[in-house]
Amino acid sequence: MAPPVPNLPKTSSPSQPSGKSEVADLKLQLRQLAGSIAPGSDDSRREIFKKVISFMTVGIDVSAAFSEMVMCSATSDVVLKKMCYLYVCNYARSNPDLALLTINFLQKDCRDDDPMIRGLALRSLCSLRVANLVEYLVSPLTTGLKDSSPYVRMVAAIGVLKLYHISPSTCLDSDFLAMLKALMLNDPDAQVVANCLSSLQEIWSLEAGNLEAVSREREALLSKQVVYYLLNRIKEFNEWAQCLILELASKYIPSDSNEIFDIMNLLEDRLQHANSAVVLATIKVFLYLTMSMTDVHQQVYERIKAPLLTLVSSGSPEQSYAVLSHLHLLVMRAPILFSSDYKHFYCQYSEPVYVQKLKLEMLTAIANESNTYEIVTELCEYVANVDISISRESIRAVGKIALQQYDVNAIVDRLLQFLEMEKDYVTAETLVLVKDLLRKYPQWSHDCIAVVGNISSKNVQEPKGKAALIWMLGEYSNDMLDAPYILESLLENWNEEQAPEVRLHLLTAAMKCFFKRPPEAQKALGVALAAGLADSHQDVHDRALFYYRLLQHDVSVAERVVNPPKQAVSVFTDAQSSEIKDHVFDEFNTLSVLYQKPAYMFTDKEHRGPFELAEELGSLSLGTGSVEHVIPAQSYEASDNDLLLGTSEKEESRGLGNNDSAYSAPGYDTSLISLEDKQVQPESNFLSLAVPTMPSHTSSVLDDLLGLGTPIIPPPPTLKLNPKAVLDPSNFQRKWGQLTTSLTEEFSINPQGAVALKVPQALHRHMQGHSIQCIASGGQPPSLKFFFFAQKEGETSPFFLVECLINTSSAKAQINIKAEDPTLSEPFSTLFRSALLALSPS
Q: Residue 423, interface with another protein (CB under 8 A)?
A: yes
Which of 12, 169, 255, 316 is in the footprint of another protein by CB under 8 A? 316
**282 and 266 in contact (C-beta within 8 Å)?**
no
Angle at 565 between CA 564 and CA 567, to 5 degrees: 120
3-state secondary structure at position 114: coil
Pick the piece of the chain touching another protein (CB under 8 A) from 174-182, 600-608, 634-642, 749-757: 600-608
Our CB check for another protein shows the closer of 10 and 233 to be 233
3-state secondary structure at position 332: helix
Q: Residue 641, interface with another protein (CB under 8 A)?
A: no
Q: Residues near 57 by Cβ (< 8 Å), separated by ≥ 6?
A: 3, 5
Q: Residue 275, interface with another protein (CB under 8 A)?
A: yes
**793 and 720 in contact (C-beta within 8 Å)?**
yes
Which of 22, 114, 559, 820 is in the footprint of another protein by CB under 8 A? 114
Q: Residue 165, interface with another protein (CB under 8 A)?
A: yes
Tell me how far, at minimum, the Cβ of 734 lies from another protein, in Å: 10
Q: Residue 195, interface with another protein (CB under 8 A)?
A: yes
Which of 349, 373, 572, 747 is in the footprint of another protein by CB under 8 A? 349
Distance CA 841, CA 762 (A): 9
Task: Find the DSSP H helices in 420-462.
Answer: 424-440, 445-452
* CA dihedral of residues 456, 460, 463, 464 (deg, nearest 10): -90
Pick the piece of the chain touching another protein (CB under 8 A) from 161-169, 292-300, 442-450, 475-483: 161-169
Distance CA 175, CA 416 (A): 74
Q: Which class for 636: exposed (0-12), middle (13-18), buried (19 or more C-beta within 10 A)?
A: middle
Q: Residue 595, interface with another protein (CB under 8 A)?
A: yes
Q: Residue 384, interface with another protein (CB under 8 A)?
A: yes
Pick the piece of the chain touching another protein (CB under 8 A) from 14-22, 453-461, 595-603, 788-796: 595-603
Distance CA 504, CA 544 (A): 8
Which of 53, 133, 757, 784 is in the footprint of another protein by CB under 8 A? 53
Our CB check for another protein shows the closer of 162 and 503 to be 162
Q: Which class for 350: exposed (0-12), middle (13-18), buried (19 or more C-beta within 10 A)?
A: exposed
Distance CA 147, CA 118 (A): 9
Our CB check for another protein shows the closer of 421 and 762 to be 421
Tell me how far, at minimum, the Cβ of 237 lies from another protein, in Å: 9
Q: Residue 31, interface with another protein (CB under 8 A)?
A: no
Q: Residue 619, interface with another protein (CB under 8 A)?
A: no
**342 and 363 in contact (C-beta within 8 Å)?**
yes
Pick out residues in 56-95 that bind another protein (CB under 8 A). 57, 77-79, 82-83, 86
Q: Residue 657, interface with another protein (CB under 8 A)?
A: no
Tell me how far, at minimum, the Cβ of 594 lies from another protein, in Å: 5
Which of 307, 532, 723, 827 is in the footprint of another protein by CB under 8 A? 307
Pick the piece of the chain touching another protein (CB under 8 A) from 62-70, 94-102, 352-360, 807-815: 352-360
Our CB check for another protein shows the closer of 344 and 503 to be 344
Q: CB-side exposure of 757: number of CA atoms within 13 Å?
A: 32
Q: Residue 279, interface with another protein (CB under 8 A)?
A: yes
Distance CA 506, CA 754 (A): 46
Pick out residues in 548-587 that bind another protein (CB under 8 A). 587
Q: Residue 421, interface with another protein (CB under 8 A)?
A: yes
Pick out residues in 228-257 that bind another protein (CB under 8 A). 235-236, 238-240, 243, 247
Tell me how far, at minimum, the Cβ of 603 lies from another protein, in Å: 5
Binding-site residue total for another protein (CB under 8 A)? 111
Which of 46, 537, 654, 785 is in the footprint of another protein by CB under 8 A? 46
Pick the piece of the chain touching another protein (CB under 8 A) from 97-105, 317-325, 409-417, 754-762: 317-325
Angle at 609 between CA 608 and CA 610, to 5 degrees: 125
Pick out residues in 130-149 that bind another protein (CB under 8 A). 149
Our CB check for another protein shows the closer of 155 and 562 to be 155
Our CB check for another protein shows the closer of 80 and 365 to be 80
Which of 258, 567, 611, 622 is in the footprint of another protein by CB under 8 A? 611
Distance CA 432, CA 396 (A): 9
Our CB check for another protein shows the closer of 388 and 630 to be 388
Pick out residues in 5-24 that bind another protein (CB under 8 A). none
Alpha carbon distances (Å) from 583 to 6, 401, 594, 696, 817: 38, 25, 13, 58, 21
Q: Residue 98, interface with another protein (CB under 8 A)?
A: no
Tell me how far, at minimum, the Cβ of 541 lies from another protein, in Å: 38
Which of 261, 346, 485, 663 is in the footprint of another protein by CB under 8 A? 346
Distance CA 31, CA 759 (A): 49
Angle between helices 115-127 and 135-145 (to 10 degrees): 150
Residues in the chain: 842
Q: What are φ and ψ of residue 789, in 5° steps?
A: -145, 155
**552 and 675 in contact (C-beta within 8 Å)?**
yes
Q: Residue 207, interface with another protein (CB under 8 A)?
A: no
Distance CA 697, CA 704 (A): 11
Pick the piece of the chain touching another protein (CB under 8 A) from 331-339, 532-540, 594-602, 695-703: 594-602
- Give exposure, 120-146, as e/b (b: 16+ Cβ within 10 Å): bbbbbbbbbbbeebbebbbebbeebbe
Tell me how far, at minimum, the Cβ of 729 lies from another protein, in Å: 5
Pick out residues in 450-469 that bind another protein (CB under 8 A). none
Encode 608-651 in three state secondary structure.
CCCHHHHHHHHHHHHHCHHHHHHHHHHHHHHHHHHHHHHHHHHH
**Cis amide leading into 782 (omega within 30):** yes
Our CB check for another protein shows the closer of 116 and 620 to be 116
* CA dihedral of residues 277, 282, 288, 290 (deg, nearest 10): -150
Which of 4, 9, 209, 657 is in the footprint of another protein by CB under 8 A? 4
| Four-residue CA torsion sign, 81, 86, 87, 91 | positive
Pick the piece of the chain touching another protein (CB under 8 A) from 65-73, 216-224, 303-311, 805-813: 303-311
Q: Residue 337, interface with another protein (CB under 8 A)?
A: no
Which of 25, 28, 50, 557 is in the footprint of another protein by CB under 8 A? 50
